């Protein structure tokens, strides 16, 4: 039978409450008693259960992660790195998928807050005021969304867009379509703003299409609209959309990059193995996931810790879907 806290208390000749304090609040127990309890616990191999520890400390030992779409490999990459970093600090991770629905997103934060010590909210679509209200109820850190007064790990989408436009302009492109993502997406807004500035500097004419769902189907739908605009290059909101667009262009016998160049964002593993390999902006998912957890742990350790907005650089990875425009 497993060893219980009562077994430890009986052997150490102290009360169950004293064992609890010795293990969770040692400063409340005199040194000799604490050592005796720890020695017995070690001899018996006793470890408090998570439920017992939660009752003693008021902490669950878990954090929450809410993402828009676990079907998108970008967010499974976020989950992997969040879970890895959390495990290093002894935390488990509860996961929620909002399915790109802001109302579900808000509900998930509210319900998950009862089961975890803090929440990571990744690429949320809800409004700033709603996020601020949620942060007042539970420790909250953002990943890829910037809101005043709330710590966040950010990826430089704007810088990635500038690199994409400069790359296409250097190849000689002068008319480009942007397949925009979700209307409520902070990343999409950042990319759109940077797109306008970079286009003005390089003399690029931009046709903005969408918004489209950030999925394969969104790309297939958008490709036909882009072709109708007689552009020589397309920038897709993310790799999944770009792969959908690439498949549709292939169906229509449009050569990429001979007749039309294509770029996107994320640098998923599929980008390097598509046919042809996709030019895309690499987003620092690994580092962002780790940093988001560290910011949340800092918030849990000290609720008065300063707000941090840590932005990570992005990099354009040039492969084989971009080339000078056909003459």
CATH number at residue 77: 3.40.50.2300
Cβ-Cβ contacts under 8 Å for 34 (sequence gap 6 or more): 22, 26
Supply 121's token pair: 């909210």
Please indicate, yes or no, whether residues 180 and 277 belong to a single structural domain of this protein.
yes
Return the DSSP state at 324. Answer: P
Please indicate, yes or no, whether residues 69 and 133 belong to a single structural domain of this protein.
yes
Please indicate, yes or no, whether residues 26 and 11 belong to a single structural domain of this protein.
yes
Torsion sign, CA atoms 172, 174, 177, 182: positive
Residue 159 CB neighbour total at 10 angstroms: 18
As to burial, measured by CB atoms within 10 angstroms (0-12 exposed, 13-18 middle, 19+ buried), residue 130 is middle
The pTM of this model reads 0.81
Please indicate, yes or no, whether residues 213 and 69 belong to a single structural domain of this protein.
no
Q: What is the rounded CA–CA span in Å between residue 34 and residue 150?
A: 40
Strand (E) or helix (H) holding 225: helix 216-228
Q: What are phi and psi of 326, to 5 degrees?
A: -65, 145
pLDDT at 53: 54
Question: Running along the chain, 327 residues long, what does each successive block of 10 average in pLDDT?
Answer: 80 82 72 85 72 56 94 93 91 93 93 92 94 94 96 96 98 98 92 96 96 95 96 97 97 97 96 96 96 94 92 98 92
Question: Taking Cα atoms as reference points, which of 291, 314, 302 lies closest to residue 152?
Answer: 291
pLDDT at 24: 63
The residue with tokens 């009862």 is: 114
pLDDT at 20: 73
Q: What is the rounded CA–CA span in Å between residue 110 and residue 118?
A: 11
Establish if 304 belongs to a structural domain: yes
CA angle 297–303–309, rounded 5-degree value: 65
Point out which residues pair with 206 in neighbouring strands: 176
Question: Taking Cα atoms as reference points, which of 268, 215, 287 lies closest to residue 245?
Answer: 215
Please indicate, yes or no, whether residues 162 and 52 belong to a single structural domain of this protein.
no
Please indicate, yes or no, whether residues 195 and 266 belong to a single structural domain of this protein.
yes
As for how many domains the chain has, the answer is 3
Please indicate, yes or no, whether residues 264 and 166 belong to a single structural domain of this protein.
yes
Please indicate, yes or no, whether residues 202 and 250 belong to a single structural domain of this protein.
yes
Please indicate, yes or no, whether residues 121 and 24 belong to a single structural domain of this protein.
no
pLDDT at 57: 52
Please indicate, yes or no, whether residues 132 and 45 belong to a single structural domain of this protein.
no
Residue range(s) defining the domain that contains residue 141 = 62-155+285-314
């Amino acid at each position: 039978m497993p060893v219980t806290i009562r077994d430890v208390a009986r052997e150490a000749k102290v009360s169950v409450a004293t064992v609890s304090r010795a293990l969770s609040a040692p400063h409340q127990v005199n040194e000799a008693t604490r050592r005796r309890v720890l020695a017995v616990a070690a001899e018996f191999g006793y470890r408090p259960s998570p439920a017992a520890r939660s009752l003693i400390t008021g902490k669950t030992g878990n954090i929450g992660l809410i993402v828009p779409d676990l079907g998108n490999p970008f967010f499974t990459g976020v989950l992997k790195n969040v879970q890895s970093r959390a495990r290093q600090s002894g935390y488990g991770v509860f996961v929620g998928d909002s399915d790109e629905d802001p109302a579900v997103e808000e509900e998930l934060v509210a319900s998950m807050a009862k089961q975890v010590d803090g929440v990571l909210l990744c690429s949320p679509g809800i409004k700033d005021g709603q996020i601020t209200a949620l942060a007042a109820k539970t420790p909250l850190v953002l990943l890829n969304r910037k809101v005043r007064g709330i710590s966040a790990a950010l990826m430089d989408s704007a810088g990635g867009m500038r690199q994409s436009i400069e790359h296409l302009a250097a190849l000689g492109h002068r008319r480009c379509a942007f397949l925009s993502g979700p209307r409520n997406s902070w990343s999409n807004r950042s990319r759109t703003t940077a797109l306008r500035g970079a286009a003005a500097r390089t003399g690029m004419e931009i046709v903005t299409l969408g918004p489209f769902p950030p999925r394969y189907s969104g790309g297939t739908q958008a490709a036909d609209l882009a072709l109708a605009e007689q552009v020589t290059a397309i920038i897709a909101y993310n790799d999944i959309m770009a792969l959908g667009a690439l498949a549709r262009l292939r169906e229509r016998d449009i050569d990429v990059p001979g007749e039309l160049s294509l770029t996107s964002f994320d640098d998923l593993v599929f980008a390097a193995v598509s046919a042809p390999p996709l030019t895309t902006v690499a987003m620092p998912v690994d580092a962002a996931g780790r940093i988001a957890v560290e910011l949340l742990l800092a918030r849990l350790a000290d609720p008065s810790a300063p707000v941090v907005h840590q932005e990570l650089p992005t990099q354009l990875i040039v492969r084989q879907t971009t080339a000078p425009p056909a003459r």
